[in-house]
Amino acid sequence: MLLLLSPWLAGFSLFFAYPLVMSAYLSFNHYDLLSPPRWVGLANYRYLFTVDPQVWTAVKNTLWLIGVMVPLQVLFAFGIALMLARAKAGAGVFRTIFYLPALAPPVAATLGFVFILNPATGPVNTILGHLGINGPLWFQDPAWSKPSLTILAIWGVGNTMVIFLAAILDVPRHLYESAALDGAGPLQRLRWVTLPTISPVILFAVILGVIGGLQYFTQAYVAAGVASGQASQAADVTSGNLGYPLDSTLVYPVLLYVHGFSDFQMGYASAMAMLLLVVSFAVTLVIVVNSRKWVHQGSAAK
């Protein structure tokens, strides 16, 4: 038995427990990887909470993702799943089409979208132009960069959609039939039969979405780098462009990356990591505790 568990025990201690403890320790130190760590007490945290001008921006951007992008993703996935569940013809083909973008590697998908949404000559603005609409500047405009990332995220929502679809198709038919007998219309059946029955799956999707939102990195990093290169024609993708345009895509993990692996302030980056850890746990806990009110605890929730 110990033999069965040994890989995990080793992995857990080496890649989970040790770095967690070490992260906490380093967060009280000044450490640049070259000279040994120097104890500085709470200085990193003081700087994090009161001085660093970019932290607040990064926190706001990440909160935007969790407050706007994640709910839109869940809503969209749910809507598509509902329509797919009612589709009489071609449900399999539609399911494949909606799932496919979820597979696109994030870097490739982001590059594709930065090009398609390129303000001057990109295909989307060209088509909008033919329709007499003056397209926005998308990834070049601080007000549109996060919505552009949201469109990209919705495009890749296939996983959630497939999970919702399976859950909706799993709702026992007799529940709908008895609701219909009681005179419930389609909307009422959705509200009082479908939603309560699949609520554990919705909770699962929300938690995964929020966790994904907290670690959202790749798309923001790549979009900022490529869009800024596009604007300056310098085609120079370095960390100096992160957050482009005007820090509007500077999400918390990107800022952590800048401090840790571009400036090599390992102590300060550890303090940022500890804050992320606490917030991740707090957010997950709040959702789980709150969910007792709306998640159906029937036989489905095992």
If the CB atoms of residues 126 and 290 are measured against other proteins, the closer one turns out to be 126
Our finding on whether 266 is near other proteins (CB under 8 A) is yes
Site for other proteins in 178-207 (CB under 8 A): 178, 180-181, 200-201, 204-205, 207
From 52, 64, 106, 196, residue interacting with other proteins (rule: CB under 8 A): 106
Q: Report 40-79 residues binding other proteins (CB under 8 A).
A: none
How far from 109 is each of 95, 105, 114, 119, 241, CA to CA, in Å? 19, 6, 9, 17, 20
Beta-carbon contacts of residue 260 (< 8 Å; ≥ 6 apart): 266, 268, 269, 270, 272
Q: Is 231 in the site for other proteins (CB under 8 A)?
A: no
Which value, to the nearest 10 degrees, does the dihedral of the CA atoms of residues 105, 110, 116, 121 take?
-140
Report, in Å, the least distance between residue 136 CB and other proteins: 16
How is residue 203 written in tokens?
């909770």
Minimal CA–CA distance to 300: which of 162, 207, 196?
A: 196
Binding mask 274-293 for other proteins (x = CB under 8 A): x-xx--xx--x---------
**Binding window for other proteins (CB under 8 A); candidates: 67-75, 142-150, 189-197, 267-275:** 267-275
DSSP string for residues in 109-162: HHHHHHHHT-TTT-HHHHHHHHTT-----GGGSHHHHHHHHHHHHHHT-HHHHH
Pick between residue 143 and residue 182 the one whose CB is nearest to other proteins: 182
Binder of other proteins out of 42, 49, 56, 108 (CB under 8 A): 108
Q: Which stretch binds other proteins (CB under 8 A): 16-24, 52-60, 131-139, 189-197?
A: 16-24
